[in-house]
Structure 1
Amino acid sequence: MRLAFKVAIVAFMTIAILIPLSMIRGVIHEREEYRAGAVADIARSYGGAQAFAGPVLVVPYTETVEVEETDANNVVRKVRRAKTRQWTFFPTTLDVGGPMVPDTRKRGLHEVRVYEWKGHATARFDAVIPNEGNPADRQIGRPWLSYGIADVRGLRAAPVLRINGRDVALQEGMGSREAPGLHVRLDAPVPGQTIALDTQLDMLLGGTESLVLVPLGKNNRFELESTWRHPSFAGTSPRHDTSADGFTASWDIASVASNAQRNYVEGLASPEMGLANMDAVGVSLIDPVDIYTQADRATKYGLLFVLLTFVGFFFFELIKQLPIHPIQYGLVGLALAIFFLLLVSLSEHVKFVYAYLAASVACIGLLGFYLSAVLRSLARGLGFAAMLTTLYAALYGLLVSEDNALVLGAGLLFLVLATVMVVTRRIDWYQVAGARPAVRQA
C-alpha cells in the first residue's frame, strides 16, 4: 500500500507541474503575438509582404446587344441595350527578376527582416483586337496596361516604364480594378488591329519578409537573388543555389502549368482577391532559429524532463530508502519548468544557443546544489546534475535537428526505458510493496 500511495503522489505531482508548463507556453505565444505586432507596425511604415503581377493589357468596349425584357403588362419584347465589357490580354513572354537587398528593422526587442527589390519586368504583347460582328454595334475605348503591387507604399522611387522604347508616365491604381498597383492608358485601337508592345518596368520596391511573383505570361521566366542565406520558396520549386554568400533562384513556368491567368480574370469580378492568393511563386527571407518556435518546441518536452527526474527520485527512495517529501518533488519540478521561462526571456536579448546554455547551467547548478542536500550526498547530487546535463544536451540536439527530431526523440525514449529496465531488473516488486502472493503447493 505504501508503494502504491507513493506512486500516486509522484503521478499527481507530475500532472500538477503541467500547470506552470502550460502557463509558460502561454507566455511564449503572447511574445509571438508581440512580434507579429512589430512586423505589422514595420509593414505599415516600410512596406508589407509584397506581391507583383503583370503587366496585363485590358481593352474596354461598349457593345449594343439585343435583349428580351418584360414590361409592366408582362409582354416580352426585344430591345437594344449597351453593355460595357472588356478583353483581357496576357503577355506572350514575361521576364521578371532582380536582386533582393536584405536588411532588418527593430521594434523594441524584435528584429524584422525587410528587403529592397531592384526589380524589372520585361514583357511582349501581340494582342489581336476581335473583328467579328457588326462594327457599328461596338465602340472600343482606350485600353490600359496594368501592374499589380500588393503594397504600393513600398515603392522607394518613381518606377520607370518604357513601351516600345519610349518612356511613359504611370498612374495610380490598376485602371478599373479596385486593387493597388500602377497603370498607363494607351490609344484606342480599331477592330482587327494587332497591338504589338514591348514593355519594361524598372522599380525599387521595399517589402517585409516575403516576395510573391505571379506568372501571368504565356511563357514566364523569373529570377531572384539575394545575400540572405536562409530562403524559403513558395509555389513551384525553383532551380536554386544556396550558399554562405546567399541564394539564386529561377523559375520557368508555362501558362498551361499555372492557374494564374484564370485566377486573375476571376479576380476582375472579385477585387478583394489578393495577389498573394493567386497561383504564384515566391521566396521568404526566414529566420532559421525562430526563438519562439524553438522555445515552444522545447516546452513540449518539459513533461518528459519532469517525469524522468521524478522517476529518478522514486528509484532513490526505493533502492536507497531515502524519504523524499512531495514538496521537494514540487520544488524540483518548478525549477525544471522555470528553465523554459529563462530560455525564452534570455533568447530575446542574446543568441538562442547562448540563452539555452545560460538557462541550462543556471537550472542544473541550482538543482545539483539542492539535491545534494535532499539526497544526503554530494556525489548523488552531482550524479543527478550529470543526468540533467545529458537530458538538456539531448533536448538541444532535438531542437537544432528539426528534420531528425522524431528519430532522435524515439531513440532517447528507448534509451531511457532500457536504462530503467536494466536498473530495476533485480528488484522484487512484491517484496518492496509488502504484498508477496502466496505460492500454491503442488
Structure 2
Amino acid sequence: MELITNERNEEQWYQTLTFKVVMIGALVLLLLIPLGMVKSVIRERQATEAEVERELFEKWGGEQVLTGPILHVPTYYYLKEDEKLTKHKRWLHVMPELLSVNGSVEPEVRYRGIYKKVLYNSDLQIEGAFEKLDQMVINADEVDWESAYVTIGISDNRGIKGELVFNWNDHALEPEAGMVITDLNNSGVSLKVPLTKENLADKFAFDVKFKLSGAKSLMFNPIGKITKVDLESGWNNPSFTGAFSPIEPELNEEGFKAGWAVTHLNRNFPQHWLGRSFQIDTHQFGVNLYDPVNHYQKSLRSAKYGILIISLTLLVFLFIELVKKKEVQIIQYLLVGLALVLFFSVLTALSEHIGFSWAYLVAALSIITLVTSYSYGMIRDKQQAFWIFIMLSVLYLFLFVLLQLNDFAFLAGNIGLLIALGAIMKASLKIKTATTSTEVA
C-alpha cells in the first residue's frame, strides 16, 4: 500500500503547474533557435535583393542628384615664399540668378528573377541666366575669364541617354564628359563657355535639354538665386523628400504633379565664392519613387513578434490542460510551437511571389487550420478547438494590423499586450491547485 502511494506521488510531481510552466518556458527559449534561423533566412533574401538592385543600378543608373549649371572661372593670387612670388590657382564658382527645371519622370518596372525594381526615365529641360559678372567683387590678383567653364553635376553619368543639348545665349556648346572642376561635384559634364573681359556686362542665358534615367529618386540642389522645379510623373506613390517640400502637389491614381520654389535666402551658401569654402549638397530636395511593397522588411518585423505569438498560444494550451483536465504532452507543445515558427518562413516564401498581404492571409489560414486540427486531435473537444481557432485568428489579425501601422505601431502593440495580459490574468483565476489526499487501503 505504501508502494502504491509513492507511485502516485511520482506521477504527480511532473504534472504540477510549476513543472509545466518551467518546461514551457524552456521550450519557448528552445524555439528561439528555429525562429532565429528564419530571421537569418529573411535577412539573406534581403541581401540577395539588394545585390540584384545594385546590378540593375549599375546598368541603368542609380539615384540621381542634379546640380547646375554652375559657372567656374579660374583665378590666381600670389604669395611670397622664400623671397619669391609663387602663383596659386583657385576656382571662382558663380551660381545662376535664375534656375528653372521642368521635367517628366516616367517609371519603368524591371524584373530580375522574382525581384521587382522601380526605375525611371526622365525628360528634363533647364533654363536660366547668369547676370552681369562685372559687378562681382573677387578677392584675387588675376581672373582668367577666357578659361571659364560651366558644369552640370549629375551623380551617375550612366543615366544620360542620348545627347545633351546646351545652348549659351542661343549658341550650341559641345559638352565634355566628366568634371573639369571637382570642388563641388565629382561627376557630370563640363562645357567651355565663350567669356571675355568685354562681354562681362552682358546677361548670359542658357537652356539645357537631355534625358536622364535613374532609380529610386531624382533630387536637385537649389543653386539658383531663385530655383524653380516642376515635375510630373505617372507614378502614384511618390515620397517628396529633402530639405524643401513641394508647393501644393497634386496626387491621384494617374500620377503626381509637384513644384518647388526656393530662394537664396533658404540656403547657407552665397551666389559666388572662391575654392572649397562652401558645400552645396546639404539642401537637396526632390522625389522618391516609393515602392510600397517591401515584403522582406514586413516579414522581418512580423518575425520579431514570433516569441509573443508562441508564448501566448502555449499558455492557452496550458490553461486548457489545467482547467479542463486535458493532458498535453511536452512533445505536443513542441510541435505546436514549430508550426507557429513555420508561419514566418511560409510568409516570406509566399510574399516573394504573390505579395505580402495575400501571403499573410494564406500562411495565417494554413497555420491556424493546422494548429486547430491538431489541438482537436489532442483534446477531443470541439468547443476548446474552436476557441483556439478564435484566439489564433485574433493574434494573427492583430499582428497584421501592427505591420500596417508606422507612427502608432508601438502604442498599438503596447495596448494589445495590456489586453492580452489582462485576459491571461483573468483566465489564470480559473486554475485551481488541488491537493489529492491518499487513502490507505
- TM-score for the superposition, normalised by structure 1: 0.87
Q: Aligned ranges for residues 318-337 of structure 1 at < 5 Å?
A: 318-337=322-341
> Which residue number corresponds to residue 245 of structure 2?
237
Residue 47 (structure 2) pairs with residue 42 (structure 1): no
Question: Which residue of structure 1 aligns with residue 80 of structure 2?
Answer: 67
Specify whether residues 433 and 333 from structure 1 end up closer, same or farther in structure 2 by C-alpha distance, changes over 3 A only: farther
Question: Are positions 1:254 and 2:263 aligned together?
Answer: yes
> What is the CA-CA distance between 1:139 and the residue it aligns to?
4.8
- The DSSP-based 3-state class of the residue aligned with 2:121 is strand
Q: Identity percentage over the alignment? A: 30
**Cα RMSD (Å) of the superposition?**
2.8
What are the equivalent positions in structure 2 for 1:286-325 lying under 5 Å apart?
286-325=290-329
TM-score by length of structure 2 reads 0.88
SS of the aligned residue for 1:305 comes to helix
Offset from partner CA, 1:106-135 (integer Å, 9 cap, x none): 111101100011111112101424798999
Partner of 2:32: 18
Contact 1:215-1:260 at 8 Å conserved across structures: no
Q: Distance in 1 between matches of 2:212 and 2:346?
A: 39
> Does the 8 A contact of 1:260 with 1:280 survive in 2?
no
Contact 1:60 1:141 in 2 (8 A): no
Residue of structure 2 aligned with 1:123, choices 125, 128, 131 = 128
1:168 corresponds to: 173
CA 1:433–1:49: 2 relative to 1, 3 Å:
farther
Whichever residue aligns with residue 15 of structure 1, its letter is L
| Cα-to-partner distance string for 1:366-393 (whole Å, 9 max, x where unaligned) | 1111111112223322321221112111
Alignment match, 2:363: 359
Deviation, 1:232, is 1.5
**Equivalence for 1:193:** 200
Alpha-carbon contact 2:95-2:272 (below 8 Å) kept: no
- Cα contact 2:100–2:229 (8 A) shared by 1: yes
1:91 to 1:350, Cα distance in 2 relative to 1, 3 A: same
Could you list the runs of 5+ residues in structure 1 that have no partner in the other structure?
Answer: 70-76, 435-442
The aligned residue for residue 227 of structure 1 is 234
Q: Give, in whole Å, the separation in 2 of the partners of 1:19 and 1:134.
A: 68
Shift of 1:165: 2.1
Distance apart, 1:31 and its partner CA: 0.8
CA distance in 2, matches of 1:256, 1:123: 18
Alpha-carbon contact 2:94-2:271 (below 8 Å) kept = no
- Stretch moving more, 193-202 or 127-136: 127-136
- In 2, distance between residues paired with 1:257 and 1:311? 59
Partner of 1:438: none
Give me the whole-angstrom Cα distance separating, in 2, the residues matched to 1:433 and 1:125.
95
Report how far residue 264 of structure 1 moved: 10
Is the 8 Å Cα contact of residues 228 and 245 (structure 1) preserved in structure 2? yes
Superposed, 1:374-413 pairs within 5 Å as 374-413=378-417
Paired amino acid for 1:185: K
Q: Per the alignment, in what secondary structure is the counterpart of residue 196 of structure 2?
A: coil
AA partner of residue 378 (structure 1): K
Equivalent in the alignment of 2:349: 345
Indicate if the aligned counterparts of 1:58 and 1:86 stay in contact, CA closer than 8 A.
Answer: yes
**Which residue among 101, 104, 118 is the counterpart of 1:99?**
104
**Among residues 418, 422, 437, which one is paired with 1:418 in the alignment?**
422
Label 1:416 to 1:146 Cα distance change in 2 as closer, same or farther (>3 A).
Answer: same
The one-letter amino acid paired with 2:181 is S
Q: 1:205 aligns with which of 205, 212, 222?
A: 212
CA distance in 2, matches of 1:310, 1:149: 57
In structure 2, relative to structure 1, the CA distance for the partners of 1:28 and 1:182 (3 Å cut) is same
Q: 1:137 to 1:317 in 2, by over 3 A?
A: closer
Tell me the alpha carbon deviations over residues 137-159 of structure 1, each in whole angstroms, 9 at most, x when there is no partner: 66544101110001111111101
Sort the Cα spacing of 1:82 and 1:35 in 2 relative to 1 into closer, same or farther, 3 A: same
Residue deviations 1:181-236, cap 9 Å, x none? 11211224228933521111111100011111111111111122212111122212
